[in-house]
Structure 1
Amino acid sequence: MRAFLVDDEGLALRDLERQLTKIGGIEIIGTYKCAADALEQVPHLKPNVVFFDIDMPEISGLEAADLLHKIDSTIDIVFVTAYQEYAVKAFELAALDYVLKPINTDRLSLTVQRLSLRENNFTRYNDAPIIATVCCFQRLHIEYGKAEPFQWRTVRAQELFSYMIYKRNQPVRKDILLELLWPETEYKKAYTQLYTTVYQIRKSLDTAGLSIKLTNSGSDYYLDMGNNQYDVQDWEEARQLLPSLTAETAPLYVQWLKANEGDFLSEQDYIWAENERQRLRDIWYKHALAVGQVWKEAGQLKEALQLYDLVEKRFPHVEEVYSNMMQFYAEAGDLHLVRKKYEQLCKMLQDEYGIAPSQPVSQWYDQIIS
């Protein structure tokens, strides 16, 4: 593993070089007292890791790390400093590790082990890149070719990632995330929790070998999906590929409807997800009713009713669903099922809303039965 060491103090620089040489596993290809000089050589010497002191003149280690990410985001960063308070900022910049001065050799050995493990994982993932699918229908889960489920370090990390998927490929201001996830928390503490949570997400993605990137740019975060897939987006795009709706093409629409396996993040009680949940429900409902109408007009009542069994499961509290099913049964000449469905409608409306069926529906029913 090829490393740059950057520290404006000569003695500290030599001590870090000596300890890393003693531990082994690191090829030191450059030592620099100025961060600007190190950054200039990065494209030419291509280090795998840079050890940055944080408290340096002109360009601090934190600023240099931010600039390094823009040059090559695959290079690992280890901060070496005497100041504990920089730890939170180090997390935000996705540093691999954070080592306090004076450096303890055993502690530095752990850093080298982590670097070695990461290099082995990176080589393996580059040989066989993982294309993951982020799934948000019904619940958040990530399919990435492994039997064990993707692990979230905290519930808050899972929610933050869910929101960034919802806002994928567009910048999201940090203050919006603070208001969304930590509205009652004191400002400085909330920022600390945000940075820590972002760090946890990055570590989880990295451990799984995924190429999804959560990046920081000043006041914003940005989730780059890369070549990975998102089931909601895939579902919506698949609709654009369907042919015009006819009785013959209707089965393709039903297949597409079934690919939506449940409401958006329905198992997570996220208030912010409700608008997206309702938008997708409206799309599903609109197209399901359109398919049912096409089959009704074609006289394919059996197919229409089979579809409406699915619609009723998704929308058990919508009067229109019951009303349409009663009309299908009436066209089929089955008044017994018309009565049964009307009774179900009456019970549902009374139980859920404390009301009776609407006047148009009750009048239609009275006419059909009489």
Structure 2
Amino acid sequence: MLKAVIVDDEKPSIDILKFFLQKTGKVKVACTFQNPKKALEEIEKINPDVVFLDVEMNGMSGIEIASNISLMDKNIEIVFVTAYDKYALQAFNVNALAYMLKPVMEKDIDKTIKRLMKVCKGLSARSEVKPQVKIQCFGEFEVYSSSNNQPLKWRTSKSKELMAYFFQNRGIPISKWKLCEVLWPEGNQDKIDINLHTTIYKMKKTLRDSNIDVDIKFINKSYIMNINNIYSDVDEFELLIDNKININDDNLKNYEKAFSLYNNYLEENDYYWSLEVKEDYLQKFIKISKDLADFYIEKDNYDAAERVLKRGLEMSPLEEDLHETLLYIYVSTEDRVSFIQHYNSLMELFAQELGIEPRTTLKGLYKKMMSNCG
């Protein structure tokens, strides 16, 4: 299965191409972008096998993106999908594998995928190669080498934090001053520069001692980290979900895997700079919890829905939608004991944590349950 990225500033074009690609059964569309600059920032993190590019886009042309991708990773193949044939020569000057004209036809897709699979036999194998390094971000930040299953032992807590920050911003230039601000927000300004160089040295030595090859460059007063041949739980989580597609029988396995994979991002590390990303992952997890529960309720599989909701509430105890759906299940199954226990604990939780009562719809469920059992 080839991992693909689509970049096109017109959403209908993205949707059509994605449909045809995934219909082949040989391509997994990992991500789509309407903003070409954002795409260029994220592509190296995604590490796709192939990028499907429009040529004429607002902000940056597909030709320019392709040129940058080839500098980033020569193994990433480029396929142009455009309404104009006048760019064909420029496309092949940047080593594009194929050039398809819009409107894209299914036969054109099949032909291109066959060529891609033939020319790039190594791509599928590349995705099967055992990763050189495993990086865990859900829960405790840990880095594992392929040689053993033990997490790396860092020389200092700051060198571990630096690695975590670099990984969160991999492929993105970070100024020296930003790194100093992140690691030593209240540090002695005279010593910060020395501290940074010392910490980078210790971080790189820990990685080298475990035979982990991480490329860190200092260009235009900024550091940039690139790391290839890795597995990370957050990358797998992102690949498994698509917020634009409803859960169904075909993709249920992916969403259940993402659901079980999740833990609070860098929960055990208490890095203040990770809070925004942590909240973003939490909101994605909450949405998965709601969608999975709704899917199972529609199937009358209340046990599975209850399991999902209870774990969702472990991660986000104050999420009222999850509480309400769980209480709805107890009403539907006429489980009066479970309803009263959960409702009372919910009232106590909100009073202690927020000083408020839950929303009125929850009280409505309480009245319904009491009347049903009266």
Partner of residue 246 from structure 1, selected from 237, 245, 248: 248
Assess if the C-alpha contact under 8 Å between 2:136 and 2:234 holds in 1: yes
**RMSD after superposition:** 2.3
Query: What does residue 319 of structure 1 align with?
Result: 320
Give the drift of 1:339.
1.6
Task: Decide whether aligned partners of structure 1 residues 204 and 330 sit closer, same or farther in structure 2, where only a CA change above 3 A counts.
Answer: same
Tell me the distance in 2 between the aligned counterparts of 1:143 and 1:342: 43
Query: What does residue 196 of structure 2 align with?
Result: 194
Map Cα deviations across residues 98-132 of structure 1 (whole Å, 9 max, x no partner): xxxxxxxxxxxxxxxxxxxxxxxxxxxxxx99710
Q: Secondary structure at the residue paired with 1:152? A: coil
Query: What does residue 265 of structure 2 align with?
Result: 264
Assess if the C-alpha contact under 8 Å between 1:202 and 1:213 holds in 2: no
Give the drift of 1:239.
2.1
Query: Quick check: which has more Rg, 1 or 2?
Result: 1
Task: Decide whether aligned partners of structure 1 residues 339 and 233 sit closer, same or farther in structure 2, where only a CA change above 3 A counts.
Answer: same
Tell me the distance in 2 between the aligned counterparts of 1:338 and 1:130: 47
Task: Decide whether aligned partners of structure 1 residues 301 and 251 sit closer, same or farther in structure 2, where only a CA change above 3 A counts.
Answer: farther
Task: Decide whether aligned partners of structure 1 residues 225 and 242 sit closer, same or farther in structure 2, where only a CA change above 3 A counts.
Answer: farther
Query: What does residue 209 of structure 2 align with?
Result: 207
Tell me the distance in 2 between the aligned counterparts of 1:348 and 1:218: 51
Q: How does 1:1-370 map to 2 (within 5 A)?
A: 131-144=132-145, 145-240=147-242, 245-246=247-248, 249-260=251-262, 262-370=263-371
Assess if the C-alpha contact under 8 Å between 1:130 and 1:209 holds in 2: no
Q: Tell me the TM-score normalized by structure 1.
A: 0.61
Give the drift of 1:156.
0.8
Give the drift of 1:363.
2.8
Matched-pair identity in %: 21
Assess if the C-alpha contact under 8 Å between 1:136 and 1:231 holds in 2: yes
Gaps spanning 5+ residues in structure 1: where? 1-127
Map Cα deviations across residues 227-276 of structure 1 (whole Å, 9 max, x no partner): 2232212220122599852256534422221022x111100111111101
Give the drift of 1:148.
4.1
Assess if the C-alpha contact under 8 Å between 1:247 and 1:298 holds in 2: no
Tell me the distance in 1 between the aligned counterparts of 2:195 and 2:358: 50
Assess if the C-alpha contact under 8 Å between 1:349 and 1:355 holds in 2: yes
Tell me the distance in 1 between the aligned counterparts of 2:317 and 2:130: 43
Tell me the distance in 1 between the aligned counterparts of 2:148 and 2:246: 38
Q: Secondary structure at the residue paired with 1:299? A: coil
Query: What does residue 24 of structure 1 align with?
Result: none
Tell me the distance in 2 between the aligned counterparts of 1:336 and 1:255: 31
Q: Secondary structure at the residue paired with 1:296? A: helix
Tell me the distance in 2 between the aligned counterparts of 1:247 and 1:226: 34
Assess if the C-alpha contact under 8 Å between 1:130 and 1:211 holds in 2: no
Assess if the C-alpha contact under 8 Å between 2:144 and 2:150 holds in 1: no
Matched residue type, 1:269: D
Tell me the distance in 2 between the aligned counterparts of 1:254 and 1:298: 15
Query: What does residue 121 of structure 1 align with?
Result: none
Tell me the distance in 2 between the aligned counterparts of 1:318 and 1:365: 18
Q: Tell me the TM-score normalized by structure 2.
A: 0.60
Task: Decide whether aligned partners of structure 1 residues 239 and 129 sit closer, same or farther in structure 2, where only a CA change above 3 A counts.
Answer: closer
Tell me the distance in 1 between the aligned counterparts of 2:131 and 2:247: 36
Give the drift of 1:189.
1.2
Gaps spanning 5+ residues in structure 2: where? 1-128
Q: Secondary structure at the residue paired with 1:215? A: strand
Map Cα deviations across residues 127-164 of structure 1 (whole Å, 9 max, x no partner): x9971011111011112131443121111111111111
Give the drift of 1:195.
0.8
Matched residue type, 1:177: L
**Equivalent pairs, count:** 242
Tell me the distance in 2 between the aligned counterparts of 1:147 and 1:324: 40
Assess if the C-alpha contact under 8 Å between 1:212 and 1:228 holds in 2: no
Assess if the C-alpha contact under 8 Å between 2:331 and 2:365 holds in 1: no
Assess if the C-alpha contact under 8 Å between 1:312 and 1:321 holds in 2: yes
Q: Secondary structure at the residue paired with 1:295? A: helix
